């Protein structure tokens, strides 16, 4: 059961990476920002499936990664003139 959840989480992360990649081309060619976004989305997926007992550090890291994803997306939008 737990393995199935991990597989689903990884599959979801890959789908997000693919979607983010496609959006990048629609918003202008920004390969470094797109690579950063993909890496952050992968990190988020890994943190999501990691064991939860980390003294609060896992949850804090997940929050920071989510903030970073938002900032990179905003940077992509600005770079695309949106």
Q: What is the pTM of this model?
A: 0.66
pLDDT(9) > 90: no
| H-only helix segments in 1-82 | 2-26, 31-49, 57-79
Residues 31-79 pLDDT 10s: 999 999 999 999 999 999 999 989 999 999 999 999 999 999 999 999 9
Higher pLDDT, 9 or 50: 50
* Distances in whole angstroms, Cα of residue 74 to Cα of each of 19, 48, 70, 82: 16, 23, 6, 9
């Amino acid at each position: 059961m737990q393995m199935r959840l991990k597989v689903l989480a990884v599959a979801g992360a890959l789908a997000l990476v693919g979607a983010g990649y496609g959006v990048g081309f629609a918003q202008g060619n920004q390969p470094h920002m797109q690579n950063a976004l993909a890496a952050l989305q992968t990190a988020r997926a890994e943190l999501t499936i990691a064991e939860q007992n980390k003294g609060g550090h896992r949850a804090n890291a997940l929050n920071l990664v989510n903030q970073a994803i938002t900032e990179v997306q905003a940077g992509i939008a600005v770079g695309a003139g949106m």
